[in-house]
Amino acid sequence: MGLSVMSPNTSCDSIEIKSYTQLHINSPFLESLPLSKLYTSENAKVWMKIDAVQPSGSFKIRGIGLLCNKVVNEKNVKHLICSSGGNAGKSVAYAGRKLGIKTTIVLPTTIPEETVEKIRDEGANVIVHGNIWDDADSLAREIALKEGLDGYIHPFDNPTLWEGHTTIIDEIYQDVSRGISPKPDVILCSVGGGGLLIGILKGLEKYNWSDIPIITAETYGSHSFWKSHKENKLTKLEISEVTSTIKTLATRSVCSEAFEMSRRFKIIPILVSDREAVEACLKYVDQERILVEPACGASLAILYKKPTELLNLNPKNILTIVCGGNGTSISSLNKSLQTLPIL
Ligand SMILES: Cc1ncc(COP(=O)(O)O)c(C=O)c1O
């Protein structure tokens, strides 16, 4: 499968088309009958873009696959280095295996052992370091200083990575154009560092779909985008505020592009509890037979809750990005329910 990419900053008469091996798959865009059933009285349907089936287990491979391809093919990088909350690292490790390149993934100590093992299974060298992602990232940058900076892969803050994430909207647009599925009236997506959100917004701008409102999902204690939106300025959470157990969403700040771009759209940030996100994963696997991480469960929890912010939009076709995630199992979800407070 080929992926054509126009190099940025090239004038129209010298457009350069690069062709890389596409590392992500075109994912299914389907209606969820169990979720639609919840919205019968609103006469609305719920649609899923199921990126949980990506070969690396999450949407991250879209952007990371493109970025890794670029640095390997254009900058002759021989060693990919990434700091990660888990899923970016898994995508870099997968990309490295497919491209035949050595990978080093630095993860904070809070990452579940099941994720560490999955990344090792891809053949990556895994280093567990620091309590939060920022600590792991400092070490990844140190390693990259010695090994070659071009090999450093940021998990969410990179224009090529955002470009790769826009493929999620390319595919949705193609399905809508072919009459396979309807144009969504609202899109739900989870936000950590904001890379997924940027990819979606860039995709919507590309197709003149900027009228579609977005509901962003975060948890209390990983609410950096919610806070920036509320304060109308890019805000960094204090370390003491990052209390969510859902580490893949727990960045202290979204990247500035996410905040700046969001100003051009109708965005409704909603917070759910860790418990609601975990419960949503368990309900969803029962109903749809698809197991996701609580980072993704945060978006699903909003659908199960039916908040007024969503109902007030009077949507007829609700689309949720099922972003996936590796740090999950039925037993770990059930285990975390034993300790998470009922709010
Ligand atoms: C499964 C999953 N969903 C959503 C996100 C949020 O993505 P982003 O950091 O691009 O906002 C992440 C981030 O790691 C993730 O792993």
Q: Is the pLDDT of residue 13 over 50?
A: no
What pLDDT, on the 0 to 100 scale, is given for residue 251? 87
What pLDDT, on the 0 to 100 scale, is given for residue 341? 85
292 CA closest ligand 1 atom index: 1
Task: Assess whether the C-beta atom of 324 lies below 6 angstroms from ligand 1.
Answer: yes
Task: Assess whether the C-beta atom of 297 lies below 6 angstroms from ligand 1.
Answer: no
Q: Which residue has the tokens 């900053």?
A: 9
Task: Assess whether the C-beta atom of 85 lies below 6 angstroms from ligand 1.
Answer: yes
What pLDDT, on the 0 to 100 scale, is given for residue 10? 37
Ligand 1 centroid distance, CA of 58 (Å): 8
User: Is residue 192 within 8 Å of residue 251, measured between CB atoms?
Assistant: yes
By most ligand atoms within 8 Å of CB, the mutation choice from 252, 323, 328, 333 for ligand 1 is 323
Q: Is the pLDDT of residue 138 over 70?
A: yes
User: Residue 19: pLDDT band by 50, 70, 90 thresholds?
Assistant: low
Q: How far apart are the first and last CA of the chain?
A: 47
What pLDDT, on the 0 to 100 scale, is given for residue 149? 93
* Top-tier CATH class for 61-156: alpha beta
| Rounded (10°) CA dihedral 207, 174, 179, 309 | -50
Task: Assess whether the C-beta atom of 326 lies below 6 angstroms from ligand 1.
Answer: no
Query: Which CATH number is associated with domain 17-58+160-338?
Result: 3.40.50.1100
Q: Is the pLDDT of residue 148 over 50?
A: yes
Which tokens belong to 267? 């965005």
By most ligand atoms within 8 Å of CB, the mutation choice from 60, 90, 214 for ligand 1 is 60
What pLDDT, on the 0 to 100 scale, is given for residue 134? 86
Of 131, 79, 125, nearest to 106 by C-alpha is 125
Q: Which helix (H) or strand (E) holds 179?
A: none
What pLDDT, on the 0 to 100 scale, is given for residue 8? 40
What pLDDT, on the 0 to 100 scale, is given for residue 95? 98
What pLDDT, on the 0 to 100 scale, is given for residue 16? 46
Mean pLDDT of all residues in 19-28: 90
Ligand 1 centroid distance, CA of 192 (Å): 5
What pLDDT, on the 0 to 100 scale, is given for residue 112? 85
Task: Assess whether the C-beta atom of 58 lies below 6 angstroms from ligand 1.
Answer: yes
User: Residue 18: pLDDT band by 50, 70, 90 thresholds?
Assistant: low
17-58+160-338 and 61-156 share one CATH topology?
yes
Q: Is the pLDDT of residue 3 over 60?
A: no
In this structure, the strands spanning 186-190 and 79-83 are: unpaired
Mean pLDDT of the chain: 93
Task: Assess whether the C-beta atom of 300 lies below 6 angstroms from ligand 1.
Answer: no
The secondary structure of 6-19, three-state, reads ECCCCCHHHCCEEE
User: Is residue 253 within 8 Å of residue 238, measured between CB atoms?
Assistant: no
Which tokens belong to 11? 């004038």
Percent residues over pLDDT 70 in the chain: 94
C-alpha distances out from residue 142 to 34, 123, 310, 314, Å: 48, 21, 44, 50
Domain assignments of the chain as residue spans, ordered by start: 17-58+160-338, 61-156
281 versus 18: which is more confidently predicted?
Answer: 281
Q: Is the pLDDT of residue 1 over 50?
A: no
CB-based contacts of 28-34 (< 8 A; 24+ apart in sequence): 28/53, 29/171, 29/172, 29/175, 29/180, 29/181, 30/181, 31/181, 32/287, 32/288, 34/287, 34/288
